[in-house]
Amino acid sequence: MKPYQSLLTTLVILQVVSVFLLGAMAFLNYQGQTEVSQLRNDLVSFQEAWKQQADMPMKERLAALESRLGMRDPKADQTSAALQEQMAETSALQERFNELRNLPAPLPDGQRPPGMSANIPAPSSPPTAAELPSPPPSPLAGLSPAEQAMAKLPVIAKISHYEPEWEFYTINKGMLDGVSPNQEFAVRRPDSYELLANVKVTSSQPEDAIVQVVRGTTKPGTAKPGIGDVLIDISKLQ
């Protein structure tokens, strides 16, 4: 009986091994089919993606490739937009140049364009220098050379107050405007270039100053300086 039992045991073991091998083969076959199916799906997706990229313009295709590979320059879009804008402006200028180039040439004086009625007056020629109105007379016309030079001097300050008891004047400019003690100015009317007298700054404040008439500078028969008269620096005439 022992030989038969050993043979039976061997057969059982072989049968178990065969079942195990069959199961392993079935599992490997299933896994292989799954991988083949996954590869087939990947191939189909790749073909669809390639077809979509083939339909895209070359510029968009390169942009997509650069974006996918991380090679896209962040300033590339700005540069491309600026280039397109410049090309649009160049195209507009070219069109405008072509329009101006196709304009008809100007006609000689007195000649009418084709199709213009004889009742419509032709455009007149521009007036000559003799026909132009004469310019208005200069406000300095009639003044002597000395008065003309005086008229060009800037006004330094204006008399704003007069104290008759102490015979001093207050002007509307002070240290902030460059007026300092011991400076000497000439006084004239705002509408005349005749000098009335010379005045000297005795004291100066930030926004105004005190001046007095310099003795011997008042002409006989000439009125004294008054409120509203202006001061000029006649030293610039020398």
**CA 216 centroid distance within chain:** 60
**CA 82 centroid distance within chain:** 17
How far is it, in rounded angstroms, from Cα 48 to Cα 66? 20
pTM of the model: 0.42
Domain count of the fold of the chain: 2
179 domain residue, yes or no: yes
* Helix, strand, coil tally for the chain in percent (to 5): 45, 15, 40
H helices of the chain, in order, are 2-55, 58-69, 76-101, 145-151
202 domain residue, yes or no: yes
Of the three residues 55, 72, 96, the one that is the final residue of a domain is 55
Q: Report the pLDDT value the prediction gives residue 118, as an integer from 0 to 100.
A: 53
18 domain residue, yes or no: yes
Q: Report the pLDDT value the prediction gives residue 52, as an integer from 0 to 100.
A: 66
Per the structure, the complete domain to which residue 205 belongs is given by: 154-237
108 domain residue, yes or no: no
Do the strands 168-171 and 155-163 form a parallel or antiparallel pair, or are they unpaired? antiparallel
Residue 211 sits in a domain whose CATH number is: 2.40.10
How far is it, in rounded angstroms, from Cα 212 to Cα 230? 14
Of the three residues 12, 28, 55, the one that is the final residue of a domain is 55
How far is it, in rounded angstroms, from Cα 224 to Cα 229? 10
Of the three residues 55, 75, 91, the one that is the final residue of a domain is 55
* pLDDT tens series, the chain, 238 aa: 556 667 677 777 777 777 777 777 777 777 767 776 777 777 777 667 666 666 656 666 666 666 665 555 556 667 777 778 888 888 888 888 777 777 666 666 556 555 555 555 555 666 666 666 766 666 666 677 777 787 888 899 999 999 999 999 999 999 999 999 999 999 999 888 888 999 999 999 999 999 999 998 887 888 889 999 999 998 876 5
80 domain residue, yes or no: no
Residue among 160, 188, 189, 192 at smallest CA distance from 173: 160
Rg, C-alpha atoms of the chain: 53
Q: Report the pLDDT value the prediction gives residue 209, as an integer from 0 to 100.
A: 96
64 domain residue, yes or no: no
231 domain residue, yes or no: yes
149 domain residue, yes or no: no
